[in-house]
Amino acid sequence: MLHRETVDRVELVFTDRDGGLSDGPWASLNLGTSNGDDPGLVLLNLARLADEIGVDRLVRMTQVHGADVVWTDEVAADEIPQVDALLTDQPGVGLLVRVADCVPIVLVGLDQPMAGVVHCGREGLIKGVVPAAVAALRERGAESLRAWVGPRACGQCYELPEQMADTVAAIVPSARSTTSWGTPAVDIGAGVLAQLHALGVTATDLGAGLCTIEDERFFSYRRQGQDSGRFGAVVVVR
């Protein structure tokens, strides 16, 4: 586990690769269900994570690189919604975001017991999934929000074709970056932090100085390819 913290009535956790049952490229706490790992082991990994955090229900999402947001009271008990942001004001419901190079974000309401998780990659940055989640939480009454931003591919590794990097930079200028070998790149984490800052949300960057591509403590799609596992973050309102 990378990080665990309690803020008022909300508890949040960021995982790394440790503590699961999967083998090989998925070793060991793979939380992803569509990357070639044994589905039975992934379910055990998810159950282990839910147990460790002390929740009966862990709501996960099929992430589609969009900007749709859903509240858990709109999600059926066995449903896995196709969204990139999950929000809750229901006590005891764990929310899971899964990543391998994209940015995992946890949002916490300080004046209202509310929380959310967001998955943001290059497309999410362009489409504004983080601003959409912040807006939805504020609409339901969370005026004071804090964010935790997790490990992701760093701006010196996340190479993109120049046109793609420029498309991102046209929307979030501070996300434009250059690889350590001098080619166009995007710093998605910097982009997310800029979007949060612009919305007045204080952020704790747990991924500062870390890079999922460079650091084998994390799963990385760029480093491991199709067989990459997924790590992530969970948040729960008590």
Q: Which stretch binds Zn ion (CB under 5 A): 61-69, 74-82, 186-194, 209-217?
A: 209-217
Cβ closest to Zn ion, residue 116 vs residue 207: 207
Q: What would the 3-class secondary structure string for the chain be?
A: CCEEEEECCEEEEECCCCCCCCCHHHCCCCCCCCCCCCHHHHHHHHHHHHHHHCCCEEECCCCCCCCCEEEHHHCCCCCCCCCCEEEECCCCEEEEEEECCCEEEEEEECCCCCEEEEEECHHHHHHCHHHHHHHHHHHCCCCCEEEEECCCCCCCCCECCHHHHHHHHHHCHHHEEECCCCCEEECHHHHHHHHHHHCCCEEEECCCCCCCCCCCCCCCHHHHHHHCCCEEEEEEEC
Minimum CB separation from Zn ion for residue 14, in Å? 18
Hey, which residues between 157 and 186 contact Zn ion (CB under 5 A)?
157
**Number of residues located near Zn ion, criterion CB under 5 A:** 5
Cβ closest to Zn ion, residue 154 vs residue 234: 154
Cβ closest to Zn ion, residue 152 vs residue 230: 152
Instruction: Using alpha carbons, select from 83, 87, 61 the residue that is nearest to residue 140.
Output: 87
Hey, which residues between 125 and 154 contact Zn ion (CB under 5 A)?
154
Q: What are phi and psi of 29, to 5 degrees?
A: -95, 65
* 31 lines the binding site for Zn ion (CB under 5 A): no
Cβ closest to Zn ion, residue 13 vs residue 213: 213
Minimum CB separation from Zn ion for residue 6, in Å? 30
* 102 lines the binding site for Zn ion (CB under 5 A): no
* 214 lines the binding site for Zn ion (CB under 5 A): yes
Minimum CB separation from Zn ion for residue 76, in Å? 39
* 211 lines the binding site for Zn ion (CB under 5 A): yes
Q: Which stretch binds Zn ion (CB under 5 A): 31-39, 127-135, 210-218, 223-231?
A: 210-218
Instruction: Report yes or no: 56 and 92 within 8 Å, Cβ to Cβ.
Output: yes
Cβ closest to Zn ion, residue 185 vs residue 237: 185
Q: Which stretch binds Zn ion (CB under 5 A): 121-129, 167-175, 186-194, 212-220?
A: 212-220
Binding site residues, Zn ion, CB under 5 A: 154, 157, 211, 213-214
